[in-house]
Structure 1
Amino acid sequence: MASITIRNLDDELKAQLRVVAAGHGRSMEEKARVILRQTLARHQKHGGLGSRIHSRFAAVGGADLDLPARQDKARAASFDG
């Protein structure tokens, strides 16, 4: 297992961590591990951008679109007037 040292930690923040840890029956180190684990888990990306957009709006419902079949080959956009 790895370990880290956190320097320049505010005394007030350390006191808050001690109180919260004691309230949960944990050591300050264990509580810090729990906080880091939970925070990093929330920031994990699951899937690509399209999947994340879909999951965000899935509860709202979808839209069924009738897309016409493509007749022509795709071509580059022209910005010349």
Structure 2
Amino acid sequence: MNSITIQNFDDDLKNRLQKRAEYSGRSIEEEAKEILRAVLTEKVTNPLNLALAIEGHFAQFGDFKLPMIPREPLREPPNFEELHDSP
């Protein structure tokens, strides 16, 4: 089995890891292994596009339809030639 050394490990992170290990009844080393195992073995499925990501995020609310928003006609674009021709 290989070993790793983490240099300049933040004291706050070390304390949090130690508390988590104590809570779980494990050594700091075993707790670090468990965290790495959990994170590195989970299956991450990236959404194919933004629409699917949004749909997945709101799927818990069930099937519903958004109301149609009435659209107004487009306004005439500004005429910059009038500004250019003035003295």
Structure 1-normalised TM-score? 0.52
In structure 1, the residue corresponding to 2:36 is in which secondary structure?
Answer: helix
Q: Which residue identity lines up with residue 36 of structure 2 in the other structure?
A: L
Q: Which residue identity lines up with residue 31 of structure 1 in the other structure?
A: E
Equivalent residue number for residue 25 of structure 2: 25
Identity value in percent:
50
Equivalent residue number for residue 10 of structure 2: 10
What pairs with 1:59-74 in structure 2 (closer than 5 Å)? none
Equivalent residue number for residue 53 of structure 1: none
Q: How far does residue 38 in structure 1 lie from its aligned partner after superposition?
A: 0.4
TM-align CA RMSD? 3.2
Structure 2-normalised TM-score? 0.48
Distance 1:20 1:30 in 2: 11
In structure 2, stretches of 5+ residues that fail to align are 46-87
Q: Which residue identity lines up with residue 39 of structure 1 in the other structure?
A: V
Distance 2:30 2:6 in 1: 14
**Residue-pair matches, total:** 63
Equivalent residue number for residue 62 of structure 1: none
